[in-house]
């Protein structure tokens, strides 16, 4: 039941309670209660702005892999958290430590952000990839 609601909202998070109840063959009251329970328990953590196709082409998105010095991770994360250009920061396994997702309005801004990241104490190495197109995004 929870997975059904989550899957339906992943496809279209703007569905009304009525639409969800019809799609899932549940009463409106049941769907409302399940949504409230998922919000209260932290399964649904919030609702966020998702930029549309009309805005996306006017920006540049890049994925930046970071390798950090041991014992300086929290310092780097704290500095990155203060950068408004970062949409997300992920800790990952493997040879890299973090993956930052960056969105800027122009290539010169991306260059500046990459320079600032590269100059941070605790950052040993970076590698970046500019997103050319998005085939689909279910987030």
Q: Which residue has the higher pLDDT, 70 or 47?
A: 70
Q: Is residue 112 part of a domain?
A: yes
Q: Are 37 and 78 members of one domain?
A: no
Q: Is residue 17 part of a domain?
A: yes
What contacts 131, CB < 8 A, 6 or more positions away?
60, 61, 62, 63
Q: Are 65 and 111 members of one domain?
A: yes
If pLDDT is split at 50, 70 and 90, which confidence band does 83 have? very high
Contact, 66 vs 128, CB < 8 A? Answer: no
Q: Are 121 and 62 members of one domain?
A: yes
At 31-40, the pLDDT tens digits run 999 999 989 9
Q: Are 29 and 70 members of one domain?
A: no
Q: Are 35 and 62 members of one domain?
A: no
CATH assignment of the domain containing 61 = 3.30.70.920
Q: Is residue 12 part of a domain?
A: yes
Q: If you average pLDDT over residues 90-95, what whole number do you get?
A: 95
Least confident of 29-33, 42-46, 111-115: 42-46
What contacts 11, CB < 8 A, 6 or more positions away?
138
Which of 128, 127, 130, 124 minimizes the C-alpha distance to 76?
Answer: 124
At 65-79, the pLDDT tens digits run 999 998 999 999 999
Q: Is residue 51 part of a domain?
A: no
If pLDDT is split at 50, 70 and 90, which confidence band does 51 have? low
Q: Are 66 and 120 members of one domain?
A: yes
Structural domain harbouring 105: 56-130
């Amino acid at each position: 039941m929870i997975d059904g609601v989550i899957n339906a909202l992943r496809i279209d998070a703007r569905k009304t309670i009525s639409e969800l109840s019809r799609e899932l063959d549940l009463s409106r009251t049941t769907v409302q209660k399940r949504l409230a329970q998922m919000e209260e328990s932290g399964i649904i953590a919030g609702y966020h702005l998702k930029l549309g196709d009309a805005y996306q082409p006017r920006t540049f998105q890049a994925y930046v892999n970071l390798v950090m010095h041991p014992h300086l991770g929290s310092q780097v994360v704290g500095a990155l958290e203060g950068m408004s250009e970062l949409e997300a920061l992920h800790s990952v396994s493997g040879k890299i430590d973090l993956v930052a997702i960056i969105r800027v309005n122009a290539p010169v801004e991306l260059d500046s952000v990459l320079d600032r990241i590269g100059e941070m104490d605790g950052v040993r190495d970076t590698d970046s990839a500019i997103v050319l197109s998005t085939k689909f995004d279910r987030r």
